[in-house]
Each structure stands twice: as C-alpha cells, then as structure tokens.
C-alpha cells in the first residue's frame, strides 16, 4: 500500500517534467531537463496527437481483416494437416497389424455363404503380404 501511494505521488512530477532550451557560446542550441547555461528558458512540450483520416482508418481495417483471414486460413490448414496425419497414422497401424497377422504363419481361409471354409493358398498369402508391405512403404514411410 505504501508503494502504491508513493507511485501515485510521484506520477504527476514525472508527467510534468521540465525541458529547458539554451544556446551556448558557439551558437549551438541545447535541450535538457536542467537549465544548462545562461539564458536557459523553459519549453512547454505538448504530446502530439495523430489524427487519422477516414481513408487511413479504412486501410488499417482492411489490413487487419486481411491478416485475420490469413491467420484463420493458417489455423484451418494446420487443423486439416493434423487430421490427415492422424488418419494416416491410424491407417498405418491397421496395415501393420494386418501384416503381422499374415506373418504369424497360420492357415488362412474365407467363409462362403454356406458357411464352408475356403483355404487360401500360399501364393495368395504371399501376394497379400507383398501388397501390404508395398502399401506400408508407400503410405507410412
């Protein structure tokens, strides 16, 4: 609390800092916070207020809209890329799981409409293994 009071008391003194102007013996003009020479006079410094016209405000608004649109596009593109990476990762996991099942060297069969087993030949298993390996290499790196 004490510090806050000190800052509040000091703020007006800082805001009303005095600027002095004087000319030295060589004719050079100097500015300082303290009077530096004979004939130093206090100069009133007013803050400069910059007024923007309507055209400038419209340009600033269009620029802001442009940058906002680009930021949104980048965010959407990043979201789509993250989604694509997740899909690819899931696909790669599924492909690797299928390849591991084939490499366990079991007997493979399909079931027809009558419920009878039709066993897959070793050549067909090798063709499936080859297809899966090439898809993994192409899609999963």
**Per-residue pLDDT tens over the stretch 50-62:** 888 899 999 999 9
User: Which 3 state secondary structure label does DSSP give 36?
Assistant: coil
pLDDT at site 70: 97
pLDDT interval class at 2 (50, 70, 90): low
Q: Is the dihedral of CA 58, 63, 66, 68 positive or negative?
A: negative
Dist. CA 90–CA 30, nearest whole Å: 73
**Per-residue pLDDT tens over the stretch 77-127:** 999 999 999 999 999 999 998 888 888 866 677 788 888 888 878 888 888
Dist. CA 88–CA 94, nearest whole Å: 10
Distance of CA 93 to the CA centre of its chain: 29
């Amino acid at each position: 609390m004490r510090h806050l009071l000190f800052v509040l008391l000091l703020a007006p003194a800082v805001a009303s800092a005095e600027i002095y102007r004087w000319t030295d013996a060589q004719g050079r003009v100097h500015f300082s916070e303290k009077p530096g020479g004979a004939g130093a006079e206090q100069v009133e410094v007013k803050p400069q207020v910059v007024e923007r016209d309507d055209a400038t405000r419209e340009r600033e608004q269009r620029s802001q809209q442009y940058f906002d649109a680009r930021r949104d596009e980048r965010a959407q593109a990043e979201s789509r890329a993250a989604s694509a990476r997740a899909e690819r990762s899931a696909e790669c996991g599924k492909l690797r799981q299928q390849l591991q099942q084939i490499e366990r060297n079991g007997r493979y069969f399909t079931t027809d409409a009558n419920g009878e087993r039709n066993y897959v030949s070793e050549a067909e298993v090798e063709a499936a293994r080859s297809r899966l390996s090439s898809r993994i290499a192409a899609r999963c790196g």
